[in-house]
Amino acid sequence: MDVVPLLLSLTVALTATGLAALLGLPIAALLAYRRFPGSDLVDVLFTAPMVLPPTVLGYYLLVILGHDSRIGGAFESLTGTPIVFTRTGAVVAATIGALPLIIKAARAAFESVDVRLLAAASTLGASGPRRFFKVALPLARPGIVAGLALGFARAAGDFGVTLMVAGDIPGVTRTGALSVYNAVAAGRDADAASTAGALTVVCGALLYLAARLGRGGRPT
């Protein structure tokens, strides 16, 4: 079994989950606590990656981030490397896949916080940011952690979008999921089984750890 795709999957998934959390948590809080013109459109926009076929989503990302696009061209001018068909492309693909799951879970967690607790904190003189960080965020933590775990699992298992945006380059963009596909296509059943099993164990262990952290370490 080649461990490089597994390590790449882990690295890409962790990076993508971190980026999705940085983007998704503020968006989730905004959608949960503020109504503004276009909020429904924002919700639909960030939900779309969950329902679009992976090839369609990958095509849109190629158009937006490709060599001839403004974003892709600007990135390549600044860094000297393109976004698509690189490890950066794999991270972008995984981030787009994880983002809606994190937003949905975090928004539901924020909305589940008892507004009376926030009101009580306000009467005690707590500012808006203080109410958020001292009351809402700690109470929403289990739901947020669950969303992060789901986002990680989604990022680690992405196939279609990654294949479209990053390609299947051994040692560069071939993740565990792509490695399983290639092993099956080549008739290497043992390699496919071992890689699939390793991915299952890693994702399962991290999901279990996330669940424990979400409960504050309390046993079931």
From 94, 72, 90, select the one nearest 81 (Cα to Cα): 72
**Location of structure tokens 């490695």:** 179
Reference 174, options 1, 62, 6; nearest CA is 6
Question: Exposure pattern of 109-146 as b/e (b: 16+ CB <10 Å)?
Answer: bbeebeeeebeebeeeebeeeebbeebbbebbbbbbbb
pLDDT value at residue 216: 55
Domains and CATH numbers, the chain: 4-116+144-214 (1.10.3720.10)
Structure tokens at 198: 């390793």
Q: What are residue 8's phi and psi, to 5 degrees?
A: -65, -40
Q: What is the pLDDT along the chain (220 residues), one digit of tens a residue?
A: 788 999 999 999 999 999 999 999 999 999 998 888 888 899 999 999 999 999 999 999 999 999 889 999 999 999 999 999 999 999 999 999 999 999 999 999 999 998 888 888 888 888 878 888 888 989 999 889 889 988 998 999 999 999 999 999 999 999 999 999 999 999 999 999 999 999 899 888 877 877 776 665 444 4
Residue pointed to by tokens 């890693």 = 202
> How far, in Å, CA of 172 to CA of 174, rounded?
6
Q: Which helix (H) or strand (E) holds 20?
A: helix 4-33
Neighbour tally for 213: CB within 10 Å: 15
What is the value of pTM for the model shown? 0.88
Looking at residue 109, what is its pLDDT? 93
Distances (CA, A) of 10 to 37, 176, 202: 39, 9, 9
- Inter-CA distances, 23 with 5, 16, 27, 102, 212, Å: 26, 11, 7, 9, 24
